Amino acid sequence: MPDNRFDSKAVSTDWDSVLTHARRVGVKFHLNSGRRTMREQWFLYRNRGRAGFASVVAFPQPNAPHIRVGRQAHALDVQTPGETALQRFLEREGLHPTNPVRGEPWHVELPERELRAYAKKIRARQKAVGH
């Protein structure tokens, strides 16, 4: 299944539903990356100075929490300080967002089961009201 696009970044269908809903209800944030591939991480790492990231771009590693296959579907990289607003919104909705990379609050992750269930709930609500 092809990825959806949110803030011009690839995201899973479930994240697209959740992030679109968050925006609709007024949560302000910008997505830096959704399904970040190893190739994208190399690009960011090589171009970090030109992109204004200085040294905060991690060296690409296949076991990085936000890149590792199997986590890409439910981990995001959200521009600071928007990650706080997004995390608070998710918590108010009864979800349990975490920051899998110590000291880097912009990496936001939801347990996959929670993400799927919440996205399904949002889509059902939207269908019921005709969106």
Q: Where are the alpha helices (DSSP H) in 7-50?
A: 13-24, 38-46
71 CB-contact burial (10 Å; exposed 0-12 / middle 13-18 / buried 19+):
middle
The neighbour count for residue 79, using CB atoms within 10 Å, is 14
pLDDT tens for each residue of the chain, 131 residues long = 457 889 888 888 999 999 999 999 999 988 887 777 777 777 777 877 665 655 566 777 777 766 665 555 567 878 767 778 999 999 999 999 988 777 777 788 888 899 999 999 999 998 888 76
Topology annotation, domain 4-129: Muramoyl-pentapeptide Carboxypeptidase; domain 2 (3.30.1380)
The tokens describing 79, both together, are 């521009």
Q: Which long-range contacts (CB under 8 A, 24 or more apart) does 49-52 make?
A: none
Quote the CA–CA distance of 14 and 105 in Å, as a whole number.
21
Domain boundaries, the chain: 4-129
Query: What distance separates the 2 farthest-apart alpha carbons in the chain?
Result: 47
Residue in 83, 81, 33, 82 with CA at minimum distance from that of residue 58: 33
